[in-house]
Chain A
Amino acid sequence: MRRRDAHSRDQTPGVSPGLWALLGALVGALIVPRIATAQTVRFGVHAVGISHVEISENRRVDGTGVGGQITVRLGRFGLELSGYTAKMTDAPEGVEEFDLLQGDVRLSFRIAQSLAIEVGGGRREVDPEFAAQDIGWGRLGILSEVRLARIGSLWGRGAYLLNAEFNGGGDAPLAVELGLGAGLGTANGRFRVRVEYEFQRLDREIGTVKVPIQMTLAKFGVDLGF
């Protein structure tokens, strides 16, 4: 398996440094000073199952992996940092296997009881390079979370992915993601079992050539709340 070298890492595309800086400053200003008094802080681990496909249907690669997540709730604000790594080994003949590493940040602001605006960004890297596209993106979307009972809730989200960049070049005029999740835990909020689904579609184009990317993800994990 070919490994990424230092030169190629420098060329990895992603969200512009200015946007990352803006997001970081926003998070820092709103969350960090009051994190000690945050209403809820959750740490979670999860297993993931991923299906990734690029260019054509016969290049679908499936894999599994593990990840972690930190969620902070403070009044109307919420911050979610998540990431996972997966080995995409279930590839058809002629398609290279690869390792996948993805990180996401989501900052939400609740505008109604069950509705929040969500901004953030994400980055996905694959190894070896060009086995699939390294991608970076910003996101702007909505999050709807409903508390079904003291011990259970479910949520759905949808976002438009902004400024998606690829290490292979090109851009994506249509880039969206969807999400669905449900959680069930103890009444005191200490423990929670979580199941989550994510769908991502990026209609990448290089000039007039269409090289779309699509990925679906299922998470199953447990959270520990404080």
Chain B
Amino acid sequence: MRRVLLLLVMFAAPTTALAQEHPDVVRAKAAYDALDFAAAITLGQRALTQRIGRDDRVITTELLGMAYGALDSTRQAVEAFKQLIFLDPDREPDVEQVSPRITSLYASALGQVLVVRRLGVDSATFIAGQGGAPVRFQLSRSARVMTRVVGSGLDMVVDSQNVGGAARVDWRGIGPDGNPVPAGLYQVIVTAFEGSSEFSAAIDVVVLHGAVDTAQHLASLPGYTERPESVSPPRGFKPLGLAVLFAGVTAGASLALENTTLGGGERREIGGVTLLTVGVGLFLSLRKPDPVPVEANIDFNRLLREQLAAENSRIVEQNVARRRQVVLTVVERREER
């Protein structure tokens, strides 16, 4: 029997070291460590009748539960653990250090009470109304749960639902008037109801305000570039050909139409002009051709510019809306115990 108790004590060391100040609590802890469970119970009960701090009360209650458990006083152990759960719902025996018997007694106590456990708010940054800060908690039993946020002159119900086990509620940071809540300190209060039982847990959060980033205008659509609207065709001799054709036809017709009685004379005029005309054609053939428009590319660029303009219009509208928005940063405020 002595060996069994030793094993129980070895596994039943207090899970977390809290500040121990009251002498009776220190003595009760020493008695427990010396495996004198009866003395530990006596000293612990005496300490609870005195004015001791919350941490000492938590340690003493936990000590009582484990001492009763070690002495096989199941009912007293469960009652002690129920008191412990009400005092600190998040404190529970460490399965790595405590005997399974003790943890089962704790679990039995937990199943008999209604508490909100492991209440926490994940740090989040979001645009008010478009996101939310997750509020997480667990219930020891299924119950109706109302989540409220109180602070900065506001008292808002965020959510109300039936919950069993773990739950998550998103707080969107919007006040009753639909506007972002002011920056400041808030308290998230989760209250569970079941029949006449009621339990509330609260956590402090800090809300900070920030400006929403505006989007920059686009200079081009990603993945698209404008195409050349005109290209120079390859050099050709069409100008020379046309000049020769026109000059040849005119000169030929002129010679053919000459009055045989009058003759053609020296024909300096047609000769000179024909030569110059052909020269113009040759010059324009050797010169780099003029760029010609590419209709398909013009249409493509027009559509691209229309799309770009439409996209920038959307960005303008979004920026107008964003300038009215507020980025909320919600951070859980933890108190040093």
Identify which of A60, A62, A149, A156 gathers the most chain B CB atoms within 10 Å of its CB.
A149
- Contacts A57-B263, A201-B257, A214-B262 given: A178-B250 contact, CB under 8 Å? yes
**In contact, A56 and B274 (Cβ under 8 angstroms):** no
Q: Which residues of B contact A50 (CB under 8 A)?
A: 269
**In contact, A203 and B250 (Cβ under 8 angstroms):** no
User: In the complex, how many angstroms separate the beta carbon of B289 from the nearest chain A beta carbon?
Assistant: 7
Task: Count residues of A near B (Cβ-Cβ below 8 Å).
Answer: 41
- Contacts A152-B239, A154-B243, A216-B267 given: A195-B261 contact, CB under 8 Å? no
User: In the complex, how many angstroms separate the beta carbon of B98 from the nearest chain A beta carbon?
Assistant: 96
Identify which of B251, B273, B283 gathers the most chain A CB atoms within 10 Å of its CB.
B273
Identify which of A154, A176, A218 gathers the most chain B CB atoms within 10 Å of its CB.
A154
Which residue of A155, A214, A220 contacts B259 across the interface (Cβ within 8 Å)? A214
Task: Count residues of B near A (Cβ-Cβ below 8 Å).
Answer: 35
**Is A20 interfacial (CB 8 A cutoff)?**
no
Over the window 193-223 of chain A, the binary record of Cβ atoms lying under 8 Å from chain B Cβ atoms (1 yes, 0 no) is: 0011101010100000010101011101000
**Is A95 interfacial (CB 8 A cutoff)?**
no
**Is A53 interfacial (CB 8 A cutoff)?**
yes
Bound form: Cα–Cα A156–B290 in Å: 23
**Is B231 interfacial (CB 8 A cutoff)?**
no
**Is B253 interfacial (CB 8 A cutoff)?**
yes
Which residue of A53, A60, A150, A180 contacts B277 across the interface (Cβ within 8 Å)? A180
Closest to B289 in A: A149
Q: Can you name 19 extra interface pairs (CB under 8 A) apart from A148-B284, A149-B290, A152-B280?
A: A49-B269, A146-B246, A149-B289, A154-B242, A154-B243, A154-B281, A155-B246, A156-B246, A156-B249, A180-B273, A181-B277, A182-B280, A184-B283, A195-B273, A201-B258, A201-B259, A203-B259, A214-B259, A218-B268
Residues on A lying within 8 angstroms of B by beta carbon are: 49-51, 53-54, 56-57, 60, 62, 144, 146, 148-152, 154-156, 158, 176, 178-184, 195-197, 199, 201, 203, 210, 212, 214, 216-218, 220
